[in-house]
Structure 1
């Protein structure tokens, strides 16, 4: 009588790291770094704490990866805006992008980069510092673009690229805070349009 060999036990089905990271982005976006507990994160990502650590490292490293994904995805409007042919076009695209992203019906209101570490204690210092660096990087990119606009004659010689960049980015982050508080898209876009009416002529 032939004895059948037992079938080898298959490896358990793994999870999709990209999908899990996308879910982590939404959790951090909605709850911030401190509010996103490991229990909330792992439940949303559909994985165990052990799997999360194995795939992404600790919570700080997961947050860094989530912020990178957010920058490449919902916040990618900034990079696209920098390609606009005029400084006013850049400012207009930045503000339109932040209004669109922070009021999207498919994601949480507000901005992960603004809200992510607003209320963190010492344990969240790394996330806080990372977001300061993230916001400074955005400001520096806009400032450098406006410096080129002065050199090209698109902005008047007396224009202050650093001040204009701070104006645009501060307004963008303010819009994000207002969006998180429930202010609607149309009102925020009206605010952006009103702010840009004071833009210096070339």
Structure 2
């Protein structure tokens, strides 16, 4: 008979997620993962595959557990409210735990070598999908008259994504939630007014 695993895979994945979130993909060693999870390398390999596969599973968990605010925000009644919820949700996530600040996706991609090209491409793919969803939501807002016909929905979505990603970098560097809130308030203050009907 095969030996039964002596650890909870969900707990191990949570622990691995915290390490990847703190140190990024390439900054995390297998020793870091075994120490954090309490699972020896053979057990990790057996349960999750290699480091790349473990990171992707941790990324899936991160999105499922922490990124729900993105989908919820897209359902908001106005484009301004969509933006407010995305940015506030981002700031909350990026500063919620002092041991792993910032965003897993941004932390994971900032220092990727050629050996981690698959990870970099996957993170880009996921961010691109989020931006595409935001473009679609702004186009809907434009059709409904919530944004002027002249507004460039792609540029607006890119701006919000860049701001959110920049906030993640700032949070990782130790910038306070109060400072991030100031950035959000500025973005909302300059948000385009709804189209004016004649």
TM-score, reference length from structure 2: 0.93
**Coordinate RMSD, CA, aligned:** 1.5
Q: For structure 2, list consecutive stretches of 5 or more residues without a partner in the other structure.
A: none
CA distance in 1, matches of 2:133, 2:179: 27
Alignment deviations for residues 128-183 of structure 1 (CA, whole Å, 9 cap, x no partner) = 11111111111111111111111122111111111110011110000010000110
2:167 equivalent to 1:175: yes
Counterpart residue number, 1:6: none
- Structure number with greater Rg is 1
TM-aligned CA deviation for residue 124 of structure 1: 1.1
Q: 1:91 aligns with which of 83, 105, 123?
A: 83
Q: For structure 1, list consecutive stretches of 5 or more residues without a partner in the other structure.
A: 1-10
Alignment deviations for residues 91-127 of structure 1 (CA, whole Å, 9 cap, x no partner) = 0001001111101136511111111021121211111
2:11 equivalent to 1:19: yes
2:114 equivalent to 1:122: yes
Q: 1:190 aligns with which of 177, 182, 190?
A: 182
2:61 equivalent to 1:69: yes
CA distance in 2, matches of 1:197, 1:140: 24
Alignment deviations for residues 5-44 of structure 1 (CA, whole Å, 9 cap, x no partner) = xxxxxx6662111111111111110000001111101111
TM-aligned CA deviation for residue 76 of structure 1: 2.0
Alignment deviations for residues 51-93 of structure 1 (CA, whole Å, 9 cap, x no partner) = 1111111111111111111111122221111111111110000
CA distance in 2, matches of 1:79, 1:106: 25
Runs ≥4 residues deviating over 6 A: none
